[in-house]
A and B are shown apart, each in its own frame.
Chain A
Amino acid sequence: MRLSKKDILGMKELSREEINLILDTAESFLEVSTRKIKKVPTLRGKTIINFFFEASTRTRTSFEIAGKRLSADTVNISATTSSVVKGETLTDTARTLEAMNPDIIVIRHSAAGAPHMLARLVKQSIINAGDGAHEHPTQALLDMLTIRNTKGKIAGLKIAIVGDIAHSRVARSNILGLTKMGAQVTVCGPAMMMPRDIDKMGVSVSYHMEDAIKDADIIMMLRIQIERQNDNLFPSDREYARYFCLNNRNIKLAKPDVLVMHPGPINRGIEIAPDIADGVQSLILKQVTNGVAVRMALLYLLAGGE
């Protein structure tokens, strides 16, 4: 089976069947990364451009490793080294890259909708590696793979997503994906970080950590951007940590077998206590491992498979 899609722009556009196909494919790629020789010839001769307009270590590296393990040629461009600093528009850069005939362009951009604009402009497949506060579908897919792997299912699970929901593309993509797969999602954070009408996305809303994580199967903590206090989105990191940090005490409210996730990079002691981040319930590093498999699956489903 193949994905009948040109691009992976967001979880919004993916059906349950497509999500299952991607996760099943990723499952089969997990094993490749455990081999002594971690390389298969599947995408030999294919070119993948990783086009990052925003600083990123884990996502960019993950895409690069995924491409290389499938034997594709990967090229990394970041905003500081590209022509963007010379004042070229995204449109012109996109057409220039298109003219070099890559097979897939992976894009990360601080502006919501930039991958959608690119997808309309060029004939190549576009994978959204995060656009503004809009979507981060590969993160949601790797989170879903991690949940499915550890809990054996997604449907029916109680999942709490805690943090700056308003500015989080990880939250949006996970809400879309998890609710589509039948999970019960609660979002939680300070009132100023809760976007308007978020409940219409099919989630419960809570402003109290204790209520949100009660009986949760999964707690997903989001990274807080310290700069946001300049815009009065929260008073101080001290105040934030006091009410929204996942720690040894409040985690007891969740199910005994609760698992903890975080897209990284983590702020130790602000949204997550160090002993939780490093504890047995933590899936943080497993998420990173699964990220490579999910990205291999997407590259394969878009560019290979014949």
Chain B
Amino acid sequence: MKLLLKGGRVIDPSGNIDADLDILIENGKIVELGRNLSLSEINSSSIEVLDLKNTIIAPGLIDMHTHLREPGHEYKETIQTGSEAAVAGGFTSIACMPNTNPVNDNRSVTEFILKQAKLANMANIYPVAAISKGSEGKILTEFGDLKDAGAVAFSDDGRPVMNSRLMRSALEYAYSLRLPVISHCEDLNLSRGGSMNEGFVSTELGLQGIPNIAEDIMVEREIALAAYTGTSVHIAHVSTAGSVRAIREAKDRGVRVTAETAPHYFTLTDEALREFSTNTKVYPPLRSMEDVEAIKQGLKDGTIDAIASDHAPHSSIEKDVEFEYASSGINGLETSLSLSLKLVGDGILTLAELIEKMSSNPAAILKIKKGTLKKGSDADITVIDTQKIWTVNVSNFKSTSRNSPFDRWTLKGKLIMTIVGGEIKFKDL
């Protein structure tokens, strides 16, 4: 089966392309990319032609930070529903964090995730394995064996590594295996007991705060470790101005540090918590306007390399409770693209820069052969209508969970088609 995408504006930062081009797909690969590809040379009976005028055709988006909850918490999300949410949000590839039950700290869990991903047959799923056994921060997992099983990175996301010596070992060993380490930066002593950003709003609400320094200090530590050992480190979900400053300065002096942020950190501030809505509870917490501005600046000047949703589905069992008792996390896969497109509307990023941060950059960080429309590459493609106005309705989510603070928000720009390996996995034309 062949697929011809006609009339769209192709933006592929990996090839420095921004032009009206047609794309011919065959056997799951991009075989031709050119102006007005002529139908006559192609046997028309076995080809599907899609007219994509007034759309943006981008290399398949990659969300390098999601929680798919399987195995262990299937009532919140499964690999099946998480993959469906991914393609509905425009993501052709996603990386999933290891804080499942059991934790993805050995090859059997990694293999299980890949098996379920294959059955789901939606998006490409890249498992991130734990740094330490059980993510307990004590004993390193078998990095080599996990890599061999298919893990693409290591992280104790959700359970930050407090032990600097363990982190040093993780950075050194992972670097020798050419795999990235993703660090969830949070000093647990400073954040203990907190359920929101520490500042004026937490003072008024009487909720214990998580100070910016809980993140800043650990970002500075990771930079120091990477610099000293000559390794690399990736900082997950950057939320503070201090982190942005530290990463910018480290990059300037050549430290191999990369970073991601999530849409909620450039869209919302802690003012959103005023009504005690548990859907605004997330770790790291929603910060101040000053932090939001710094994150946007960091995205603009390249300090922050990637946008990832930190998709963290939770059910009403965890969320319909008192704020302090609620689980943290925002359901992000199906709103991430539209929230991020606002950066383009607001003049912070160009469309090409946004696609870079949501496709080619995460591919480079994870060292996966994705994020490009070059001839011969996998036909993973995201088609976007940047003008379409739509209203978020969580009850239409493909995700099993509904925990989004963006319910009822009207957004501009929407995913209209997701192609994975040459197959249309989602269409909203």
The interface of chain A, by Cβ under 8 A from chain B, is: 12, 89-91, 109, 111-114, 116-117, 131-135, 166, 169, 172, 195-198, 200-201
Complex CA–CA separation, A201 to B200 (angstroms):
8
Query: Is the beta-carbon distance between B322 and A113 smaller than 8 angstroms?
Result: yes
Query: Is the beta-carbon distance between A196 and B200 smaller than 8 angstroms?
Result: yes
Of A111, A135, A169, the contact of B323 (CB 8 Å cutoff): A111
Residue of A nearest to B198 (CB): A196
Complex CA–CA separation, A117 to B326 (angstroms):
12
Write the nearest CB–CB distance from A9 to chain B, whole angstroms. Answer: 10
Task: Give the dominant DSSP class at B's interface.
Answer: loop
12 A-B pairs whose Cβ atoms sit less than 8 Å apart in the complex: A12-B204, A111-B324, A112-B206, A112-B324, A132-B207, A133-B207, A134-B206, A172-B206, A196-B199, A196-B211, A197-B200, A198-B203
Chain A residues, Cβ within 8 Å of B198: 196
Write the nearest CB–CB distance from B76 to chain A, whole angstroms. Answer: 17
Query: Is the beta-carbon distance between A116 and B202 smaller than 8 angstroms?
Result: no
Q: Does B112 interact with chain A (Cβ within 8 Å)? A: no
Residue of A nearest to B203 (CB): A195
Q: Does B409 interact with chain A (Cβ within 8 Å)? A: no
Complex CA–CA separation, A198 to B324 (angstroms):
21
Chain A residues, Cβ within 8 Å of B323: 111-113, 117
Residue of A nearest to B317 (CB): A89
Write the nearest CB–CB distance from B97 to chain A, whole angstroms. Answer: 27
Complex CA–CA separation, A200 to B199 (angstroms):
10
Most buried by A among B205, B206, B276: B206
Query: Is the beta-carbon distance between A117 and B322 smaller than 8 angstroms?
Result: yes
Write the nearest CB–CB distance from B334 to chain A, whole angstroms. Answer: 25
Complex CA–CA separation, A201 to B204 (angstroms):
8
Q: Given A112-B276, A116-B276, do A196 and B322 touch, yes or no (CB 8 Å)?
A: no
Query: Is the beta-carbon distance between B205 and A196 smaller than 8 angstroms?
Result: no
Query: Is the beta-carbon distance between B325 and A111 smaller than 8 angstroms?
Result: yes
Q: Given A195-B202, A196-B198, A197-B200, do A112 and B207 touch, yes or no (CB 8 Å)?
A: yes
Most buried by A among B203, B275, B324: B203
Q: Does B321 interact with chain A (Cβ within 8 Å)? A: yes
Query: Is the beta-carbon distance between B276 and A132 smaller than 8 angstroms?
Result: no
Residue of A nearest to B207 (CB): A112
Q: Does B320 interact with chain A (Cβ within 8 Å)? A: yes
Chain B residues, Cβ within 8 Å of A166: 203
Of A89, A112, A114, the contact of B320 (CB 8 Å cutoff): A89
Q: Does B209 interact with chain A (Cβ within 8 Å)? A: yes
Residue interface bits B322-336, CB-to-A below 8 A is 1, else 0: 111100000000000
Chain B, interface size category, equals: 20 to 34
Residue of A nearest to B208 (CB): A133
Write the nearest CB–CB distance from B322 to chain A, whole angstroms. Answer: 4
Residue of B nearest to A118 (CB): B322
Chain A residues, Cβ within 8 Å of B203: 166, 195-198, 200-201
Complex CA–CA separation, A60 to B209 (angstroms):
29
Write the nearest CB–CB distance from B233 to chain A, whole angstroms. Answer: 29
Chain B residues, Cβ within 8 Å of A198: 203
Q: Given A132-B206, A172-B206, A201-B204, do A111 and B199 touch, yes or no (CB 8 Å)?
A: no
Of B209, B320, B324, the contact of A196 (CB 8 Å cutoff): B209
Write the nearest CB–CB distance from B281 to chain A, whole angstroms. Answer: 11
Complex CA–CA separation, A196 to B213 (angstroms):
13
Most buried by B among A91, A112, A117: A112
User: Which residues 192-227 of B have a CB within 8 angstroms of A?
Assistant: 198-200, 202-209, 211
Complex CA–CA separation, A131 to B275 (angstroms):
14
A sample of 8 more A-B contacts (CB under 8 A), given A172-B204, A196-B200, A200-B200, is A91-B320, A109-B322, A111-B323, A116-B275, A131-B206, A195-B203, A196-B203, A197-B203
In the A-B complex, the 6 residue pairs with the smallest Cβ-Cβ separation, listed nearest first, are: A113-B276, A134-B206, A133-B206, A111-B322, A197-B200, A195-B203
Chain B residues, Cβ within 8 Å of A89: 320-321
Chain B residues, Cβ within 8 Å of A195: 202-203, 209
Complex CA–CA separation, A117 to B211 (angstroms):
25
Query: Is the beta-carbon distance between B321 and A91 smaller than 8 angstroms?
Result: yes
Complex CA–CA separation, A112 to B201 (angstroms):
13
Chain A residues, Cβ within 8 Å of B320: 89, 91
Complex CA–CA separation, A90 to B205 (angstroms):
19
Residue of B nearest to A198 (CB): B203
Write the nearest CB–CB distance from A92 to chain B, whole angstroms. Answer: 9
Write the nearest CB–CB distance from B210 to chain A, whole angstroms. Answer: 11
Chain B residues, Cβ within 8 Å of A12: 204
Chain A residues, Cβ within 8 Å of B325: 111
Complex CA–CA separation, A132 to B204 (angstroms):
12
Complex CA–CA separation, A239 to B204 (angstroms):
28
Write the nearest CB–CB distance from B25 to chain A, whole angstroms. Answer: 50
Write the nearest CB–CB distance from A160 to chain B, whole angstroms. Answer: 19
Query: Is the beta-carbon distance between B206 and A197 smaller than 8 angstroms?
Result: no
User: Which residues 211-252 of B have a CB within 8 angstroms of A?
Assistant: 211
Chain A residues, Cβ within 8 Å of B211: 196
Chain B residues, Cβ within 8 Å of A134: 205-207
User: Which residues 314-368 of B have a CB within 8 angstroms of A?
Assistant: 320-325
Residue of A nearest to B316 (CB): A91
Complex CA–CA separation, A166 to B209 (angstroms):
10
Write the nearest CB–CB distance from A95 to chain B, whole angstroms. Answer: 11
Complex CA–CA separation, A132 to B276 (angstroms):
13
Chain A residues, Cβ within 8 Å of B209: 195-196
Write the nearest CB–CB distance from A179 to chain B, whole angstroms. Answer: 13
Residue of B nearest to A172 (CB): B206
Chain A residues, Cβ within 8 Å of B275: 116
Write the nearest CB–CB distance from A181 to chain B, whole angstroms. Answer: 18
Chain A residues, Cβ within 8 Å of B206: 112, 131-135, 169, 172
Query: Is the beta-carbon distance between A113 and B205 smaller than 8 angstroms?
Result: yes
Chain B residues, Cβ within 8 Å of A201: 200, 203-204
Chain B residues, Cβ within 8 Å of A113: 205, 207, 276, 322-324
Write the nearest CB–CB distance from B273 to chain A, whole angstroms. Answer: 9
Most buried by B among A90, A91, A113, A195: A113
Query: Is the beta-carbon distance between B321 and A112 smaller than 8 angstroms?
Result: no
Residue of B nearest to A111 (CB): B322
Write the nearest CB–CB distance from A202 to chain B, whole angstroms. Answer: 11
Chain B residues, Cβ within 8 Å of A197: 199-200, 203
Q: Given A89-B321, A111-B322, A111-B325, do A117 and B200 touch, yes or no (CB 8 Å)?
A: no
